Amino acid sequence: MDERADLEQILQSALAVGVQVHKAGGYTARTDAAMRRVALALGADKADPAITATLVGLTVTKNDWSRTAVKSAVNAGINFSELTELSELAKDSAGKSPEQVRGELDTIVTNSKRYGLGVVLPAVGVGSASLAALYGADPAGMVIAGIAGGLGATLRAWLITHHLKPFVFSVFCAFLSISVVLALQSWTETPNAALAACVLYLVPGVPLLNGTADLLTGYYLNGLVRLTMSTVVFVGASIGLLAALSLWGAA
């Protein structure tokens, strides 16, 4: 194979792995390491990743030849099992051809397991009810928190399919969840616990962790982007919460 064509295959294989790690919710240093490991294992002399919140780029060099490519990589949700498999693929890429790496990557992506809304939405309700129990809610408060959390998560899923931004859907979802609890508060002696737990699904836990990890590993711009996005969600949820409390006269 022509040396330039071989370098192009190395570039595309390493970049494909990096894009998938980024989409699956990996923090920047993890995406960077995966691409470097694959590119060098496949025969590149040097690999220089460039990663932003929505783009993944890579430059590979071999025998004074360089190739660069950039691909869009919008986060598709968190998938820890897929991240683990991708990390194993990157570690075990030595001795393999670019075609073998791409084939194994395609297998990982094809077999990736993502729970459907029929599982996720009830699980959100159960999680909200469980958190309410930790806050000291009585059984009625747990049920109310579960209902409010499940309905809010259902609204969020619907709004996301209509391409609303995080700030917008967090306002409406928090408003709905808080309103449900306030409408049913006479059924429980612990409404405050239900109020605190019903918006659990809006907490951007992984973006906060990834943003902190990016800051600690020197990827300051990406870290600030992730933390800013988390702040936007918090602000939206706070506005929705305040609006619901004001409407129900509980503010």
Q: What is the mean pLDDT of residues 242-247?
A: 92
Contacts of 69 by beta carbon, 8 Å cutoff, 6+ apart? 11, 12, 15, 57, 58
> What is the structure's pLDDT at 48?
93
Strands across the sheet with 65-72, in order? 46-51, 55-62, 65-72
Task: Tell me the C-alpha to C-alpha distance, in Å, between residue 102 and each of 34, 148, 232.
Answer: 14, 44, 37
- Whether the full predicted model's pTM is greater than 0.95, yes or no, is no
* CB-CB contact of 209 with 216 (8 Å): no
Residue among 91, 48, 56 nearest 73 (CA) = 56
CA dist., res. 40 & res. 128, Å (int): 45
Dmax over CA atoms of the chain, in Å, equals 75
> What is the structure's pLDDT at 76?
62
Q: How confident is the model at residue 193 (pLDDT cuts 50, 70, 90)?
A: very high
Q: Secondary structure of 72-118 in the HEC alphabet?
A: ECCCCCCCHHHHHHHHHHHHCCCCCCHHHHHHHHHHHHHCCCCCCHH
Give the chain's mean pLDDT: 91
Three-class secondary structure of residue 14 per DSSP: helix
Q: What region does 163 belong to: left with phi over 0, alpha with psi -120 to 50, or beta?
A: left
* CB-CB contact of 20 with 77 (8 Å): no
The token duo for 75 is: 């986060």
Instruction: Give the containing element (helix H, strand E) for 61.
Output: strand 55-62
Q: Secondary structure of 118-154 in the HEC alphabet?
A: HHHHHHHHHHHHHHHHHCCCCHHHHHHHHHHHHHHHH
Given a cut of 80, whether residue 202 has pLDDT beyond it is yes
pLDDT tens per residue, range 214-223? 999 989 999 9
pLDDT tens per residue, range 109-152? 888 777 788 888 999 999 999 999 999 999 999 999 999 999 99
Count of C-beta atoms within a 10 Å radius of residue 165: 11
Q: How confident is the model at residue 250 (pLDDT cuts 50, 70, 90)?
A: low
Q: What is the mean pLDDT of residues 149-168?
A: 92
> What is the structure's pLDDT at 169?
92
> What is the structure's pLDDT at 1?
52
Q: How much of the chain, in percent, has pLDDT values that exceed 70?
A: 98
**Residue 71 dihedral angles phi and psi, to the nearest 5°:** -130, 150
Q: How confident is the model at residue 251 (pLDDT cuts 50, 70, 90)?
A: low
> What is the structure's pLDDT at 113?
79
